[in-house]
Structure 1
C-alpha cells in the first residue's frame, strides 16, 4: 500500500516526537472530555448567576407590579361601579403603589446587566409594551375618575357605571397580561432548576391572577347591584382557571416550597372563597349572584387568600432563585464531580506520561548515542588500527554485556554483539591480508632475484655479435623479463614495501617517460609528444616510472590494437601534468567513478582481484604525493591525468652521458643508461 506524501510529511520523524505524540493522544482526548464537562459546568454556573440577576433586576419588580395592578384593578372596578370618597381614596392609594412598582420595573430594566434579547428574542418588545402600558395608566385612571359624571355633566346611569367598571377591568387586565408575558420571557431562557421552579411559580401567579379577577368582578357587580352576563362569564372562567392551575402547579413544586401553598389551601379563608365561588356560579348572572347572602365574608377571605398566595409565591419563586448558589451541589451536581475527577485524571495522566515518556526517551537517546558512537567513531577507529597492522583488544573495545533487563537493554546487548562480530571479522581479515602480504613479499623477492639474474644474462647476450633475427628474439625476451620485473615490484608495492630500484640524482622527464613506455608489451603504439625540459627528483623516479607504465599499459590493453596511445606532458604554474589518452570505447560514469575510487581511496583491498593495477597506482600516488584521475577523453576514450607537484621537479637539465661521482645508481650504471633497456639505447 502506497502512503501519500502528505501523510508522510505529517508523520513525526524523531523518536522524541513519536513518543510524545503517542502519549499525548489519550491525554488530549481526556482533556477534551474534561474541557467539555468544565464548559458545561461553567455554563450552568453562568445560567444560575444570570437567573439570579434577572430575578433581582427584573422578575421581582415585575411581580410586585402585577400585585399592585391587581389591587388597583379591584379598587378601580369598585369605584367605577359605586363612586364614593372611600372608594376613591382606596383607588388613589393603590395607584400610588402601582406607580412605585412601575418606577422599580423601569429602574431594574435600565440597571440590568443582562441583554434581554439574549434571554428571549421577543422579550425587548414585551418590556417596551409593558412600559407603554405603564405610561397609559394615567389616561386609564383619568377615565375612571370621571365615571360618575357623563359628558353633559349629569350623573351616569347604572348601565354607564357598569360599562366603566368593565372598561377598567379590561384595561388593567390587559396591562397585567402584558406583565405576565414579560415574566414568561424571563423564566423560560434556560433549563436550570431555578428557572424551572420559576416557571411553575408563573403558573401559580396566573392562578392568583384568576382569584384577583374574581375579586375585581364581584367588586364591580356588588357596587352596581347586579352581575352582568359578561361579568358572570369572566368570573366563571377565572374560577375554572384558578382551580385548573393551582392544584397541579402546587404538586410540581419542591416540598420546601409546597408547604406555604398547602397552608393557604387548608385555611378557612380558602374554604370560604371556594364556597362563594360555588354559590355565585350556581346563582348565575343577575342580582342574586351579588346579594349579601352570597358574598358573606368574601372580601376578607379573598384578600387573605391573595395575600397568602403572594407570600407563598415570593418564597417559592423570588427567594428560591435569589438564594440559589452557583457553586452549590444543586448547580454543579454530577458535572461538578466530573470536572473535579477529570482534572485529577488529567493531572495524573500528565504526570505518568511525563515520567514514563521521559524515561523511555532518555533510554532511546542513550541507545541511539551509543549506536552512533560505535558506528561513527569506535568501530571505524578500530578498523583503521586493524588495517594499519595494529592489534585490537576486542574485549576492551566492546565489552560483552549480559542479556538482562528490558527490550531496550537487550537491543544494546545485541548492538555490542554486532560490534564484536564486526571487529572479529575485521581482525581475521587483517590477519589474512597480512599473511597474503607476506606471501606477496616472499614470492616477489624470489622472483626479483631470478629476474635480475635473467636481465643481466640477457644484457650480456645482447652485447655479443649475433644475427639480427636472434637479436630481435633476445629483445622480446628482454621485454617480457622487464614486464615480469614490474609485476614483481607491484607485489612489493601492494604489500607496502618499496621496490629495490632507486636513484639519487634528478632524471630528465623525457628519460622517465621513455623508461615507462619501455616496460609495456607494445611500446610502438605509444606516441609521445613534446616534453618540457624538466627533471624529476631521483627519489620519485622509480615510483613515477612504475605508475606511468601501469597507466600506459592499461590504456594500450583497453583500446583497439590499431589505435595509438598519446602521452603528453605540460608544465603548469604549480607543477607538471602528464596525460595518457587512449582511443578506446571509453567507460560509463559508474565504471569511471569506481576506478577513480580505487585510485584515490585510502584503503587497498588485496582480496579484490579486478584491476590490481589501479591499486598499484593508488599506493604509488599516495607514497609520492601525486594526484591521479581518470576522465573521459574528447575522442571518446579515457584520459589518465597525473599531476606532479612543484617540489618534486627541477628545471635545470643535468648531463648524464658520463659517469659522475655520486650520481651512480645502485646497479653501478649511470642513471640515464640504467633507466632504458639495451634494446632502446
Structure 2
C-alpha cells in the first residue's frame, strides 16, 4: 500500500519538476521576448528620433539653401550687371579709339597724297629734303592710325596685287619708323611674300623695328637678317639694347600671344606688340622674343611659313610705292588667293613712303 503511495508521490513530484522546468523555460523565453521587444521599441524610437532630426535638418537646410540660392542669385545679378557695364565701357572705349584712328588715318593719307604731288614739282634740293621729312612724318601717323585700327578689329583695305620680296617688305617697314637710318637689312631679295600677306608683314615688322630702335642706344645699329629655312623663311631682328629681364620678356610675350584688347592694355597702352600679335594670328606667321641677341639686346624672330611665300613672278618693290588713300573697312577671312589659301584679312597694300627706297 505504502509502496504504491510512494510511487504516486514520486510520479507527481516528477510531473511537478517537469512542469516547473517548462515554466522556467517559458519565463526565460518570455523575458527574452520582452527584452527583444524593448530593444526593438528603443531602436524604433531612435530611428524615429533620427528621422525627425533629419527632417528638421532638411527643413533647416532647405531654408538655408533657399537663402543661399537667393544670395547667389543676387551675386550673379551683380556680376552680370558689372559685366554688362564693362562691355558697354569697352565698346565705348573701342568706338572712341576707332573714331580717332579713322580721322588720323584719313588726314595722314591726304597729307601723303599732297606731299607726293609736291615731290613731283619741287626742284630745290633743300626744299625737297623738307618735303621728304614731312612725308616721312605722315607715314608715322599713318602707321600709328593703322595700329589703332587693327586693335579695333579694322583691317586696311589696301592689297598688293603682286608678290613682294621679304627684303623689300623689311625696307618698306623701315620707311615707317622714326629712326630708319639705324636699321641694317641683309638678305631676302629672293624670297617673296604672297600679295595678301605683304601689308600685315610690313606693319608687324615696322612695329618690331620701332621697338628695337626705341629700346636701344641711338648710336647703335639694329641688324635685320632675312634667310630661308626648311619650313619657310625667318626675319631676325637684333638690337644692341640691355635686353629684357625674364618678367618683362614674359609680359611682352603675353602681349603677342594673348589677344588683349584696348581696355586690357592699361591706362597708357603700348599697342605695338599687341598689334603684331593680332597680325600674326590673322595671317599665320610666328613671332618669338628672346634675349639671345649676339649684340647683348633682344632678338625677335618672325617666322614666315611656306604658305605665305611664293615665286617672284610679277613682283614689285614695295618700298618704291606710295600708299593710296582708302577707307579702312572691317573684313573677315579672305578667299583663296593665287599666292596662298586662307590668309586672313584682306590686309595687304603698298608700303608707306619714306626715305629708304633702295
Q: TM-score, normalised by structure 1?
A: 0.40
CA pair 678-481 structure 1, distance change in 2 beyond 3 A: closer
The answer as to 2:296 corresponding to 1:632 is: no
CA pair 645-351 structure 1, distance change in 2 beyond 3 A: farther
- Equivalent position of 1:621 in the other structure: 280
**Secondary structure of the corresponding residue to residue 567 of structure 1:** strand
Q: Using the alignment, how far apart are the partners of 1:486 and 1:352 within structure 2? A: 76
Q: Using the alignment, how far apart are the partners of 2:144 and 2:78 within structure 1? A: 36
Contact 2:290 2:299 in 1 (8 A): yes
Please give the residue correspondences for 1:374-453 in structure 2 after superposition, counting only pairs within 5 Å.
406-453=63-110
- Equivalent position of 2:353 in the other structure: 677
Higher relative contact order (CA 8 A, sep 6+): 2
**Secondary structure of the corresponding residue to residue 262 of structure 2:** coil
Shift of 1:603: 4.7
- Equivalent position of 2:336 in the other structure: none
Q: Using the alignment, how far apart are the partners of 1:417 and 1:603 within structure 2? A: 30
- Equivalent position of 1:466 in the other structure: 124
Q: Which runs of 5+ in 2 are unaligned?
A: 1-5, 327-348
The Cα RMSD (Å) is: 3.9
The answer as to 2:195 corresponding to 1:538 is: yes
- Equivalent position of 1:212 in the other structure: none
Larger Cα Rg: Structure 1 or Structure 2?
Answer: 1
Shift of 1:516: 0.7
Shift of 1:478: 3.1
Q: Kindly provide the CA deviation profile for residues 135-176 of structure 1, in whole angstroms up to 9, marking residues without a partner as x.
A: xxxxxxxxxxxxxxxxxxxxxxxxxxxxxxxxxxxxxxxxxx
The answer as to 2:4 corresponding to 1:328 is: no
The answer as to 2:344 corresponding to 1:644 is: no
**Secondary structure of the corresponding residue to residue 520 of structure 1:** coil
Contact 2:97 2:152 in 1 (8 A): yes
**Secondary structure of the corresponding residue to residue 307 of structure 2:** helix
Contact 2:197 2:308 in 1 (8 A): yes
**Secondary structure of the corresponding residue to residue 476 of structure 1:** helix
Q: Using the alignment, how far apart are the partners of 2:108 and 2:64 within structure 1? A: 64
Q: Using the alignment, how far apart are the partners of 1:567 and 1:653 within structure 2? A: 25
Equivalent of 2:205, from 548, 555, 558? 548
Q: Using the alignment, how far apart are the partners of 1:613 and 1:343 within structure 2? A: 77
Shift of 1:612: 1.7
CA pair 611-447 structure 1, distance change in 2 beyond 3 A: closer
Contact 2:238 2:293 in 1 (8 A): no
- Equivalent position of 1:372 in the other structure: none
Shift of 1:416: 2.9
**Secondary structure of the corresponding residue to residue 29 of structure 2:** coil
Q: Kindly provide the CA deviation profile for residues 408-462 of structure 1, in whole angstroms up to 9, marking residues without a partner as x.
A: 1232233333333333333333333333333333323332333223323434444
- Equivalent position of 1:592 in the other structure: 249
The answer as to 2:133 corresponding to 1:476 is: yes
Q: Using the alignment, how far apart are the partners of 2:228 and 2:55 within structure 1? A: 70
CA pair 563-595 structure 1, distance change in 2 beyond 3 A: same
Structure with the higher helix share, 1 or 2: 1
The answer as to 2:178 corresponding to 1:521 is: yes
**Secondary structure of the corresponding residue to residue 327 of structure 1:** helix
Q: Using the alignment, how far apart are the partners of 2:123 and 2:279 within structure 1? A: 40
Q: Which runs of 5+ in 1 are unaligned?
A: 1-303, 365-404, 658-662
Q: Kindly provide the CA deviation profile for residues 307-326 of structure 1, in whole angstroms up to 9, marking residues without a partner as x.
A: 99xx79x969x949963754
CA pair 504-354 structure 1, distance change in 2 beyond 3 A: farther
Q: How many residues align?
A: 316
Q: Using the alignment, how far apart are the partners of 2:322 and 2:110 within structure 1? A: 20
Contact 2:323 2:351 in 1 (8 A): no
Structure with the higher strand share, 1 or 2: 2
Shift of 1:653: 4.9
Q: TM-score, normalised by structure 2?
A: 0.72
Contact 1:534 1:653 in 2 (8 A): no
Contact 1:503 1:666 in 2 (8 A): no
Q: Using the alignment, how far apart are the partners of 2:229 and 2:311 within structure 1? A: 12
**Secondary structure of the corresponding residue to residue 505 of structure 1:** coil
**Secondary structure of the corresponding residue to residue 316 of structure 2:** coil
